[in-house]
Structure 1
Amino acid sequence: MTTLDTHVAVVDLGYGDAGKGTVVDTLCAQGPVAAVIRFNGGAQAGHNVVTPDGREHTFAQFGAGTFHGVPTHLSRFAVVDPLALAAEAAHLRGLGVGDPFGLVSADPDALLATPWHAAANRVRERRRGRARHGSCGMGVGQTVEYALSNADAPRVADVRTPAVLRRRLAAVRDRLTAAYGPLDAPPLDDVVAAFAAFGAAVRIGALVPELLAAGPCVFEGAQGVLLDEWFGWHPYTTWSTTTFANAAALCPGVLRLGVVRTYTTRHGAGPLVTEADLGLPEPHNGTGEWQGAFRTGHFDAVAHRYAAEVCGGLDALAITHLDAPGRAPALGICRGYTVDGAALTRLVPGRAGDLAHQSALTALLERAVPDTPERPGDWREAIEDLLGAPAVIESRGPRFTDKTVHVKRLSSVPT
């Protein structure tokens, strides 16, 4: 079998749910892969993978190459939730993964998400009422926000020093309780014990250079570029850099692989210009208490081109759901909008950190009317042309055996 011979970063060019997990699973199936490296987000990720023998798991913190025995490294850019990781490990054990924790390592500088962060996140979102921003309710953003204001925010390194761990966890509990009122969370002693057990079970270290030297690595992103903290439609964004920036900081020259569906989707509130009822139900993407409803729309070339641009360009594409056009005769590609009577085919990026610009883009998109969708003769060729990169993975189903993988083409892409 032709094998993967380059480091690859996998990023979603939409609002999440494009199929990053199944793409990472497919890359790892080419083997051998030294590690899957998580470079943003945390336990809120939901990367569904189905094996050829029918096993199914929604990967959150474990890398989506786990069924192939590929280890996961939680980099310094990840937010680590030991309690959620333990629950995920238990499910993987039930699916035949013998020692899930033996496949995990974590950077000592990665932030720790606690039950108090998650509880405060939910209180905060409830208080917004009908003006909700959208959330997974896992406390990932709350963890990042807390760390920006508190130098003693708990990090993975703290699990090796019980006194420090207890003091920092107690500070999280006390500060967030003071800010949000009583929080639904376990007792401090139970959390300390669980976090210490995590520290004993996983390898802790700044291991990225070692892993890169061991062989090809796959960098697995979370969420999507259109939710990026700096370049998404503010305020409907995440507290995370969802572009290639973190992966490139860990591995300069990494191959940039963008993942996109044949139709555009998003969970919950925020602009979705091409929204339409396409008759494409998805069992893994229903309405959630925190995320809101799962929404679908025609392929939004304007938004996805914007995502590619703010990512700094793409080396290659993975196109998923290529079976969907056959099930949705009305599905097409929207190549432009009309806004306030004027045609618009490009969204102009702002500077990183310019949230006023991002808010203005959100207001613009809320006024945008999509052009009539066009049905392409060849979906792969049309999307390649629109996004300016070759498709190296074509997916027509959830299993890696449902993919056409052009590994030689992937390995020859210049970076």
Structure 2
Amino acid sequence: MTHRIVVDLGYGDAGKGTVVDWLCARGPEPVHAVVRFNGGAQAAHNVVAPDGRHHTFAQFGSGTLTPGVRTHLSRFMLVEPLALAAEARHLAALGAADAFDRLTVDVDALLTTPYHRAANRARESARGAARHGSCGMGVGETMAYSLEHPDDAPRAGDCTTPGRLRRLLSALRDRVLDAFPEADVPDVDDCVDAFTAFGERVRLVGGDHLHRLLRTGNVVFEGAQGVLLDEWHGFHPYTTWSTTTFANAETLLDEAGASAVRLGVVRAYMTRHGPGPFVTEDPALTTDLPDRHNAFGPWQGTFRVGHLDLVALRYALAVAGGVGELAVTHLDVARARRDLLLCRAYEIDGDPLGALPVGRAGDLEGQEALTHRLMKARPVYEPLGDPVETLETGLGVNVGLRSYGPTAADKVTARPSRPGPTTRR
């Protein structure tokens, strides 16, 4: 088997979905299943089929438009049943009416509920101008609640036991209202009805199911968000409550005695949604280079655009442990724009900086100190040149896939990649 892990090396929105879609529709080997291994319903992986159909994948794997490709939501995924049902309805309208039939969910996956979402939005609103840039979907609250109340955190398997589910949701609702009395929350019985219907509709499985998937055919592990937003190595506090590196996928593979090629996805320029450090941001590009499938969000804020940043990407590679090859997207934009630049170094208080320090995982004070430094950094620019050649020489990694548009037909494979990091068997 040739399994692959697809991870965004930036701040997200680099094109993980379109790369996963290509791997499933036209990749070098047939793909049996897509495994989601971090994040939740806040993901927004845009896929455009050659015939023009478009879907923004949140929880289903981005290979779902390819007939027969399954989705497995691992125990590291945060499952939001209501949003999943809405996504399935849209997929059915696009011709993938059997999306639910091709879905399996690990019984230990945490559930994101309307109560988590209400707490998320109330907390983020209370921050005012100091917002962290949340997606407003309750993902962070789901993780925080599971850490504070591990025995009371609802999981996918609880959807098959209405009595236990009702107790868990009632306790969750009461705690949210204690913290945020004005929060708009639904009736517990309504949530129980909806979640038990979900439990009856989907196939809930144990951890050994993934082991069988890995033995049955090639699997693509699809990450969410980007390495620069990682909960432990991102620029705190403007991060996500999720491990966005290869770590979760590697844990699942190690448990099954399997390995995979690591594929890092990069845009030919940089983007970021919401607040936080973005050294190469260019306001002119933000206003002059719109993204068809990314725009202002009421919780995330502005979709920001900037120049290619080798300093940030080298940092992402370092904290992620390297990649076997790169996939570079939006090369059609780079080809059309002559004003895109390259940053190889920063200047902070007059001193040059070519690399960011990699701190100890979990040292959030250290990461916040790094954030403060980056807020003062200024980019040192030079002409971009050929972005593929620039990335290969600047990062020391072969570009195995070039993307010149949103569909699988717009992808071009490069020469065979030289050996690169894989997960340990």
For residue 414 of structure 1, report the CA deviation from its aligned partner: 6.4
Contact 1:267 1:291 in 2 (8 A): yes
> Match for 1:224: what amino acid?
G
Q: Give, in whole Å, the separation in 2 of the partners of 1:53 and 1:372.
A: 39
Match of 1:295 among 295, 300, 304: 304
Partner of 2:382 in structure 1? Answer: 373
Partner of 2:262 in structure 1? Answer: 256
Match of 1:218 among 212, 217, 220: 220
Partner of 2:127 in structure 1? Answer: 128
Partner of 1:57 in structure 2? Answer: 55
Partner of 1:66 in structure 2? Answer: 64
Contact 2:323 2:420 in 1 (8 A): no
Partner of 2:354 in structure 1? Answer: 345
Partner of 1:149 in structure 2? Answer: 148
SS in 2 for 1:269: coil
**What are the equivalent positions in structure 2 for 1:5-404 lying under 5 Å apart?**
5-29=1-25, 30=27, 31-69=29-67, 70-150=69-149, 151-205=151-205, 206=207, 207-252=209-254, 253-276=259-282, 277-278=284-285, 279-376=288-385, 378-404=386-412
Moved more, 288-297 or 27-36: 27-36
Contact 1:81 1:113 in 2 (8 A): yes
Contact 1:154 1:168 in 2 (8 A): yes
> Match for 2:34: what amino acid?
V
Residues 243-291 of structure 1: per-residue CA shift (max 9 Å, x gap): 0000110114321100000101101100110011223211211111000
Q: Give, in whole Å, the separation in 2 of the partners of 1:258 and 1:320.
A: 11
Contact 1:247 1:254 in 2 (8 A): no
SS in 2 for 1:68: coil
Tell me how many residue pairs correspond in the alignment: 409
Residues 300-347 of structure 1: per-residue CA shift (max 9 Å, x gap): 110011001000111110000111122221102110011111110000
Q: Give, in whole Å, the separation in 2 of the partners of 1:281 and 1:195.
A: 38
SS in 2 for 1:303: helix
For residue 55 of structure 1, report the CA deviation from its aligned partner: 0.4
The alignment's TM-score, normalised by the length of structure 2, stands at: 0.94
Moved more, 115-124 or 27-36: 27-36
> Match for 1:267: what amino acid?
H
Once superposed, which parts of structure 1, at least 4 consecutive aligned residues long, lie more than 4 Å away?
Answer: 410-414
> Match for 1:396: what amino acid?
Y
For residue 59 of structure 1, report the CA deviation from its aligned partner: 0.1
Contact 1:35 1:211 in 2 (8 A): yes
Q: Give, in whole Å, the separation in 2 of the partners of 1:91 and 1:393.
A: 29
Q: Give, in whole Å, the separation in 2 of the partners of 1:388 and 1:102.
A: 42
For residue 409 of structure 1, report the CA deviation from its aligned partner: 2.6
Percent of residue pairs identical: 58
For residue 33 of structure 1, report the CA deviation from its aligned partner: 1.1
Moved more, 311-320 or 22-31: 22-31
Contact 1:280 1:328 in 2 (8 A): no
Q: Give, in whole Å, the separation in 1 of the partners of 2:336 and 2:184.
A: 44
SS in 2 for 1:274: coil
Q: Give, in whole Å, the separation in 1 of the partners of 2:252 and 2:230.
A: 18
Residues 14-37 of structure 1: per-residue CA shift (max 9 Å, x gap): 100000000000000135212100
SS in 1 for 2:65: helix
Counterparts in 2 of 1:369 and 1:127: CA distance versus 1, 3 Å: same
SS in 1 for 2:50: coil
Please list every run of 5 or more consecutive structure 2 residues that lacks an aligned counterpart in the other structure. none
Contact 2:322 2:421 in 1 (8 A): no
